[in-house]
Every structure is written in C-alpha cells, then in structure tokens.
Amino acid sequence: MDNKTIYNCHNHIFTHDNIPNDFYPLKLVAAARIAPLRWVLRGALKLAVPWSKNDQLHRYAAYIKAAYRTTQQQNLDTLISYYPDNTKFIILPMDMALMAAGRVREEIDQQHEELARLKRLPKYQDRIIPFAHIDPRREDSLERLTKAVEKEGFQGVKIYPPLGYRPNHPRLMEEIYPYMVEKKIPLMAHCSPGSVNNKDMSKEKAHAMADPDNYQQVMLAFPELKICLAHFGGISEWQRHINEPRQPDNPTWLTKIVAMMESGKYPNLYADISYTIFNFQENVPLLKLLLQKKGVLPQVLFGSDFFMVESEKYSEKRLSIDLRYALGEELFWQIANTNPLRYLEG
C-alpha cells in the first residue's frame, strides 16, 4: 500500500496578487501587503479565531499566512513538503476579478501561465495536475480553456458559482461543458455556503448559486461529464446535519449530495472532503459512516484545501496521517487513490 500514489484533489497556490483590493474588509488587502502590518493582522486573527466560529476569519488568517508568500512556487513547495514524494496534487487557480471586490494585480491569464510554467519544470511535471479556472461571464472563456488544455497541459476545469453565476450559465452549457466532454476532462465545482462571495450580492443569493440542486440539470444534460462538488457541502452544512433535527423542507447540502449519489442517476458525480475534514473530531466519524454506503464510497475524493487551512490546528501532514489512521487503509486508499484515478481518467 505504501507504494501507491496519494492524490490530493483540492489545493490552491495563488498569491495576494490574485486577490482583489477589497477582498478583506476595511482595506486590509493593501495593509497586509506591508510586511510589519501583515504580521500584526495575522496575530490579531490568531487571537480571534480560537474564540470565533466565523469561517471567514479562518480563511482570512490562511490567506494572510500563505497568499503573501512571494510566488506560487513557494506555496507549491510548502504543500509538497507535507506529503510523500510520489503524491500528486490538483491545483486550482482562482479568478476573482469579477466578484465586485476591486482590481486584482495579476489577472487569471498570468496565474494560469505561471502554473503552466511550473508544470513544465521537471521537478513538478509529474506532481501537479493543473485545472483552469473558468468564469463564464468572460466572453472568451472557451478560448482561454482551449489554450489552457491544448497548449499548456491543463487537465480539468474549476468553477466557483458564488462569484456570481449558476452552474447552468448559458456559456457553460453551450460551450464549456460540451468541450469538456469532448476532451474528457473533469469539473471541480465549489459547493459550500461559506467563503468567497460576489460583493454585489447578498450572501444568501451568492450561496444559492452553489446549491447542489443546481447540478442536476447539468448532469442530466451531460451524463459523461465528471463533476466533483468540492467540500461535500461545506463545514456549516455538516454541522447542521450533525447537530440539528432533520428538516425535510430544508435538507442539508450533505443530505442532497448523498441522495444524488445513492440515486444511481449520476454515476459521474463526486465530492471531495477538502476544508470540511479539518473539523476533524466532529466530521471524521460521520465521513467513515458515509463511506459504508455502497453508493457513496466510490464517489468521494481526498482533498485538503491547501492553503485555506493553514490557520487550522491540523497541519497538512497531520491531517493526512490522522485521516488514514481513522479511516483505515482500505477506505483511505479508496478516496486517496482509486476514486481520484477514476475521476481523472480520460
């Protein structure tokens, strides 16, 4: 078993140059670019986070720790250092230019180009699996994807609906998904109520963009398209699932995803456990029980959400070790090797 390859299916290495100027409240993006102020802000967040259940504070702390490293390569080297030498990593860029949070210093094209450069380097070419972030509101999104796949070796697509669009956006349905089916490349879709939202929308409206129900139309229209719903509904929905009574009229996103998996209608539906699994003591027992379900076990992927989780008490290395121990060898390798290989295969 030790010679098998671990696939970490959800990681970020972008930098502060890819974060909009107004991403943090109170102009903190500009402040965090000044090194002494950055450490003051991070220290304040470290004090606040243990006393707060605010998921956004956790993410701000993670951004400040990791996004202000100088380069994507520095973030990548840090990520790789946590795992065995033959581990492979899906890398997910973020295109936040259209989230109504101000200007980004470096557009998604430059972010993609740097990721493509890293992929060409011998030390990384067998380690990283780059996905292109596609925002269907960009008129040339198909051309961007074509370039990324056919010229730069990208192997999948990332979408992030809370930035301001639904998964059934006409450009996705008419151009992007057909191309993906043709090229046999998978989709990674953000599926959690928390995190990055379009600033021009209410949080409720932005969250609704990521609702798992939105993907049923996509999967019925493109049954061959492999879709991973990242975060498996998200920490807040897992907490609601565990701690609150069932609400038939308002099921948790976890309930919705599991129901779709067990229905047998969507054999190419997956979900990864990134970020959600860092609520370890509460969520791992539930994960282990879910993996006993025959309809769920083949559809779950291991992912951590580096670097979003760097502020958490679990390090990347500790998480993978503890998860492997808690699940046992058979279940761990199912979600960290067998299922990812099937998700990525052309």
Q: What is the pLDDT of residues 197-238, one digit of tens each?
A: 899 999 999 999 999 999 999 999 999 999 999 999 999 999
Check if the beta carbon of residue 45 is closer than 8 Å to that of residue 311: yes
Work out the pLDDT band at 332, boundaries 50, 70, 90: very high
Q: Parse the chain into domains and list their residue ranges.
A: 7-22+71-344
Return d(Cα 34, Cα 171) in angstroms, integer: 39
Q: What is the pLDDT of residue 272?
A: 98
The token duo for 15 is: 């930098």
pLDDT for residue 27 is more than 50: yes
Q: Using 50, 70 and 90 to split pLDDT, how confident is the model at 323? A: very high
Select from 1.10.540.10, 2.40.160.20, 3.40.50.10070, 3.20.20.140 the CATH code of 7-22+71-344: 3.20.20.140
**Dihedral pair phi/psi, residue 105, rounded to 5°:** -70, -35
In sequence order, the β-bridge partners of residue 46 are none
Percent share of the chain, pLDDT over 70: 85
CA distances for 118 relative to 48, 114, 125, 151, angstroms: 36, 6, 7, 14
190-199, 211-220, 269-278: range with lowest mean pLDDT: 190-199
Report yes or no: 57 and 308 within 8 Å, Cβ to Cβ.
Answer: no
Confidence of residue 194 (pLDDT cuts 50, 70, 90): confident
Contact at 8 Å (CB) between 111 and 18?
A: yes
Please list the residues that pair with 230 across neighbouring strands. Answer: 190
Q: Output the six-digit token pair for 344.
A: 């990525």
pLDDT at residue 63, rounded to an integer: 57
Average pLDDT on 268-288 reads: 95
pTM above 0.75, yes or no: yes
Give the residues across from 229 on adjacent strands. Answer: 189, 271
Average pLDDT of the chain is: 89
Whether residue 155 contacts residue 129, with contact meaning beta carbons closer than 8 Å, is answered with: yes
The pLDDT score that the predictor gives to residue 52 is: 46
Q: How far is CA 39 from CA 45, 46, 74, in A?
A: 10, 10, 18
Half-sphere exposure of 334 (CA within 13 A, CB side): 15
The per-residue pLDDT for 36 is: 57
Amino acid at 36: P
Q: Is the peptide bond before 306 cis (omega within 30 degrees of 0)?
A: no
Q: Would you tell me how many other CB atoms lie within 10 Å of the CB of residue 123?
A: 11
Kindly state the average pLDDT of the residues 124-137: 98
Sign of CA pseudo-dihedral 10, 16, 21, 22: positive
Across residues 72-78, what is the average pLDDT?
94
Confidence class for position 346, pLDDT limits 50, 70, 90: confident
The least confident of 125-139, 194-208, 239-253, 324-338 is 194-208
Q: What is the mean pLDDT of residues 309-332?
A: 86
Q: Which of 63, 111, 64 is nearest to 91 (CA)?
A: 111
Helices (H), 231-299: 235-243, 253-263, 280-290
| 3-class secondary-structure state, position 255 | helix
